[in-house]
């Protein structure tokens, strides 16, 4: 590659970055509007309506009601590969505690994970790409997705429902971003390979024989059995999984059938989750959960395990990551492009990336307010908020990555 080609690429990136910076005010304004009006999964009617209107204004062909409340929008310039750009729209069932001017106006609903920023960056990205004319060497598909945070009555998330409605048909690559409240504004996080965990839930029923607390010898105490099982389960990662293989097992809920101190329980229900980055490790943990629960039978009781399969592991395509990293370095400098370690978070963007090569970047938005300690604004809490100063970076990188991917895909 010649120095001239490096120079040309850098000039293209600088031009897109300048366009994104000009839209920074619009991005922040839209983000704050969405933050004031959050909607829960599969209820994003006003958010979807607003996004559809903006996409139509930008010249996209819009289809509504995809995956129940989602939107897809297509922009084509001749024949060529199609790059999809995804943004999730849903909020969380949390009562906001922030006292900002743009705090949520919807009781017990809040954008506590940055999806308002995702949509805002996506709208600016669409606007930038719509103005590229002949520089656009293929198609762009915007995926405005409902319900990343929850599943419906059948346990299917927004990505799964959009896929069922053919949202990924004809897509050659898919990209997206996620706000990262632990990464400073002005920086992005990126890595190839597994970057977000597969997430699976489980419910364990432990059966014993209840009785009076004064006569424990006549019972099979489900609480004692369950306590032993919990202790054993929490040793799975440290003793059964290789140290180099990241995995998490958590018991988050312990419920006894007894509500009194002098009544020995005949049943305990445990609920938990496990996070993995490898299919073999995922299967191994299931085997070890069953082995740990077999203690119940040794102690005279019984058990049943129910699994709820969650989102698959998100694996970033190396080629797309290389393109995204190159673009990011050109725009914000190598010192601001951080190679992240895999996160224990889980994301249904992985479902899109299982159908076409995909990559997800993390956009820095760590917020610091005078007089408040760091870490006061974590995701999924009532005080979550972001530093908005780097939102233009998300739109700039997504736009230029999409343009450059057209060139890369056409050359294959």
| Active site (catalytic) residues | 311, 388
Could you tell me if 358 and 316 are in contact, meaning their C-beta atoms sit under 8 angstroms apart? yes
Q: Coil, helix or strand for 84?
A: strand
Tell me the C-alpha distance between 199 and 312, whole Å. Answer: 7
Tell me the C-alpha distance between 145 and 339, whole Å. Answer: 27
Q: Which of 101, 84, 80, 87 is nearest to 171 (CA)?
A: 84
How many residues are listed for the chain in this entry? 412
Match 């629960």 to its residue by tokens: 293
Tell me the C-alpha distance between 366 and 185, whole Å. Answer: 6
Match 């300048």 to its residue by tokens: 18
Could you tell me if 177 and 362 are in contact, meaning their C-beta atoms sit under 8 angstroms apart? yes
Complete DSSP assignment for 193-236: EEEE-EEEEEEEEEE-B-EETT-GGGSB-HHHHHHHHHHHHTTH
Tell me the C-alpha distance between 103 and 34, whole Å. Answer: 10
Torsion angles phi and psi, residue 5, rounded to 5 = -65, -40
Could you tell me if 55 and 318 are in contact, meaning their C-beta atoms sit under 8 angstroms apart? no
Tell me the C-alpha distance between 386 and 179, whole Å. Answer: 8
Cα-to-chain-centroid distance, residue 111: 13
Q: Which of 364, 391, 360, 394 is nearest to 377 (CA)?
A: 364
Beta strand residue intervals within 333-398, DSSP E:
337-339, 358-366
Q: Which of 397, 263, 261 is nearest to 330 (CA)?
A: 397
Tell me the C-alpha distance between 43 and 326, whole Å. Answer: 38
To the nearest 10 degrees (0 to 180), the angle between helices 3-22 and 391-410 is 140
């Amino acid at each position: 590659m010649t120095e001239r080609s490096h120079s040309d690429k850098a000039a293209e990136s600088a031009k897109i970055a300048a366009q994104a910076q000009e839209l920074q005010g619009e991005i922040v304004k839209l983000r704050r509007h969405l933050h004031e009006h959050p909607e829960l999964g599969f209820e994003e009617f006003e958010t979807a309506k607003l996004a559809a209107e903006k996409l139509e204004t930008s010249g996209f062909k819009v289809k509504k009601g995809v995956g129940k409340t989602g939107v897809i929008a297509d922009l084509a310039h001749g024949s060529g590969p199609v790059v999809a750009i995804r943004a999730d729209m849903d909020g969380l069932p949390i009562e906001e505690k922030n006292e900002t001017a743009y705090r949520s106006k919807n009781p017990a609903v809040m954008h506590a994970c940055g999806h308002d920023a995702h949509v805002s960056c996506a709208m600016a990205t669409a606007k930038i790409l719509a103005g590229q004319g002949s520089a656009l060497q293929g198609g762009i598909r915007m995926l405005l997705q409902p319900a990343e945070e929850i599943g419906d009555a059948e346990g299917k998330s927004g990505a799964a429902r959009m896929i069922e409605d053919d949202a990924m048909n004809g897509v050659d690559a898919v990209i997206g971003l996620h706000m990262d409240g632990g990464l400073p504004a002005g920086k992005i996080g990126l890595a190839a390979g597994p970057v977000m965990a597969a997430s699976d839930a489980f419910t364990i029923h432990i059966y014993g024989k209840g009785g009076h607390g004064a006569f424990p010898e006549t019972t099979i105490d489900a609480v004692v059995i369950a306590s032993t099982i919990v202790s054993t389960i929490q040793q799975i990662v440290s003793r059964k999984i290789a140290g180099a293989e990241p995995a998490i097992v958590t018991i988050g809920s312990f419920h006894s059938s007894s509500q009194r101190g002098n009544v020995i329980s005949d049943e305990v229900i445990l609920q938990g989750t496990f996070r993995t980055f490898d299919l073999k490790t995922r299967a191994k943990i299931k085997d070890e959960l069953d082995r740990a629960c077999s203690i119940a039978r040794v102690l005279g009781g019984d058990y049943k395990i129910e699994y709820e399969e969650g989102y698959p592991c998100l694996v970033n395509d190396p080629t797309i990551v290389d393109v995204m990293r190159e673009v990011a370095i050109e725009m914000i400098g190598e010192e601001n492009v951080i190679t992240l370690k895999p996160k224990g978070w889980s994301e249904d963007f992985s479902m899109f990336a299982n159908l076409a090569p995909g990559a997800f970047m993390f956009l820095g938005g760590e917020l610091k307010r005078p007089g408040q300690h760091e870490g006061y604004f974590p995701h999924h809490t009532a005080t979550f908020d972001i530093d908005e100063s780097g939102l233009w970076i998300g739109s700039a990188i997504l736009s230029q990555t999409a343009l450059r991917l057209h060139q890369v895909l056409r050359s294959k």
